Amino acid sequence: MTLTTMQMYRSGCKLWLLLCFCQIGARTYAQDSRIYAVVVGIADYLHNNPVSGLKDLNFCDDDARAMHQFLSRTNAHVVLLTDAQATKRNILQAMTRVFGMASEKDKLLFFFSGHGSPQGFIPHDFNSNNFLFHSEIKALFKQSKARLRVCIADACHAGSIKQRTTHSRAPGDNQKTLKSSPEVVVIMSSRSEEVSQEDPQLQRGVFTYFLLKALSGRADANNDRKISITELFNYLSNQVAIYTNQEQHPIIFGRFDKNMIIVNY
């Protein structure tokens, strides 16, 4: 969703899933590991006027609430910020505090739904220059001790965050380095030049709607009641592209094993 995006949902899924991120290749995380998450959704913007070019959105706050509901069914520690709560200062403070709580055995997640631009994501109090810069998010990820770090965004031009970031590695590719380094997974709703659509029939952002469907079991291609990161992204990218008539294409990158199991259900 950008400053000029077309308006289009994500509904709350009936989930009892365990978002486990428990196995990456030969590495198994401690069963007592925990998810530390900051979830942001902004539909109502402070400076919503023709001069700024910033329009309110419809369902981004609902997206965030649905993600929060999903995570609340796990052992996650989650901070939810919507609309007026989601100022740049509040978002950065929440990320600093929550991510700082994670130990080396834990996982962290940043989820954002709202306006985006090539420079970064757009906080509630955006005033033409106070972006939530991609570089600020990357810096907070680097500071964390967590062994697995996940960033997911449903925003226009979200793919711009990929600049100067390494691509994902295939299973077995430099496994020695993979085992000794933190895992990083970045899933963006659209390519850098694309807008991310909301849909009134879905009542969510298209990306978030199919993301939650994927996590609820729809992405389980081999019916083993486990969803790998590859299964999730294959389902997500196909469904979003089809639903938007090939106008929106999610991307994934980072440093991770493509066989990583992210959900048992």
Which pLDDT tens digits describe the chain residue by residue (265 residues)? 544 333 333 322 323 333 444 333 334 444 578 999 999 999 999 988 776 678 999 999 999 999 999 999 888 999 999 999 999 999 999 999 999 999 999 999 999 999 998 889 999 999 888 999 999 999 999 999 999 999 999 999 887 888 754 333 333 344 444 455 889 999 999 999 999 999 999 999 999 999 999 999 999 999 999 999 999 999 999 999 999 999 999 999 999 999 999 888 8
The pLDDT of residue 77 is 96
The pLDDT of residue 31 is 55
Q: Smallest Cα–Cα separation from 210: which of 8, 2, 7?
A: 8
Q: List CB contacts of 242: < 8 A, sequence separation 6 or more.
A: none
Q: List CB contacts of 224: < 8 A, sequence separation 6 or more.
A: none
Task: Tell me which DSSP letter residue 239 carries.
Answer: H
The pLDDT of residue 160 is 84
The pLDDT of residue 58 is 96
The pLDDT of residue 170 is 36
Say how far residue 95 (Cα) sits from the centre of its chain: 14
The dihedrals phi and psi of 76, each to the nearest 5 degrees, come to -70, 150
Q: List CB contacts of 194: < 8 A, sequence separation 6 or more.
A: 156, 157, 159, 247, 248, 249
What's the whole-model pTM score? 0.85
Number of CB atoms found within 10 A of residue 207's CB: 32
- Determine contact, residues 65/12, Cβ cutoff 8 Å: yes
The pLDDT of residue 181 is 80
**Cα–Cα distance, 90 to 93 (Å, whole number):** 5
Domains of the chain, first to last:
18-264 (3.40.50.1460)
The pLDDT of residue 97 is 98
The pLDDT of residue 180 is 52
**Cα–Cα distance, 83 to 93 (Å, whole number):** 16
**CA distances (Å), origin 162, targets 9, 46, 109, 118, 129:** 25, 28, 17, 10, 21
pLDDT tens-digit readout, 165-206: 433 333 334 444 445 588 999 999 999 999 999 999 999 999
Q: Where are the alpha helices (DSSP H) in the chain?
A: 60-71, 88-99, 134-143, 175-180, 206-213, 229-243
Residue type at 59 in one-letter notation:
F
Say how far residue 169 (Cα) sits from the centre of its chain: 19
The pLDDT of residue 153 is 97
- Determine contact, residues 113/205, Cβ cutoff 8 Å: yes
